[in-house]
Amino acid sequence: MDFHFSVDDVFDSLFDKEHPVVEFVNELEYPVDLYCFYQGDKGTLCDITDNHFNGHVEFNVHGLDKETPPYSQIPEEQKSVFNDIYYEFHRIGYKKSNQTRLHYFSESYELSDYFLERGVDTLYTTDKPALLWRLPIELKETMSESGQCKHQGLNFVRTSLRIENLVGLASYEIADTLVELATSNKPISVMTHEYELMRPQVRELTNYVIKFLKDI
């Protein structure tokens, strides 16, 4: 079945072709989006010299850095950050995805025209019971019933599952969770984080989830 898989908080692996996350996502037999910060402990995206990811890996913006959620910035500050990221994506040769999840699930609907002009039509929202943080409250019912809603031309789709939340569950509990997702008649968006993929257990679970959903 069709589902979306992505990795948030991506930065360190962009600098190092030997990074465990690079090897892992390159070997996945399923499309994956990487949502990236502009800066971190290793510098900025300006310091990256080559693209060491395979063709099934696509990229999009996530935020300035791990300390700065986009919702804490005014729209012009967000645009400035995202413009810098997109510029570096083009320079490095990253293929841009048409969807993203902003840091801390920021619902930056004020940037709808900006994203649409950039070819981005979908933002993924929180997996928390709150459903939505900033979008109009009347959209919560739509999000609850269908797992998605539309506002100012952008699609907002609820994040379905964090891989790391499956750690410690019994096999039957994981299978039941995935079957429930597959039979929900809602879009399925599975995600994890770059730092979580440093754990072998999370990589193993990611492979399991992807294979399970592909084969169901």
pLDDT tens profile 128-170: 999 999 999 999 999 999 999 999 999 999 999 999 999 999 9
Architecture of domain 4-215: Alpha-Beta Barrel (3.20)
Written as six digits, the tokens of 36 are 């990236």
* Domain boundaries of the chain, sorted by first residue: 4-215
Tens digits of residue pLDDT in 68-112? 999 999 999 999 999 999 999 999 999 999 999 999 999 999 999
Q: How far is CA 158 from CA 97, 138, 191, 202, in A?
A: 17, 15, 11, 21
Res. 1 pLDDT band, cuts 50 70 90: confident
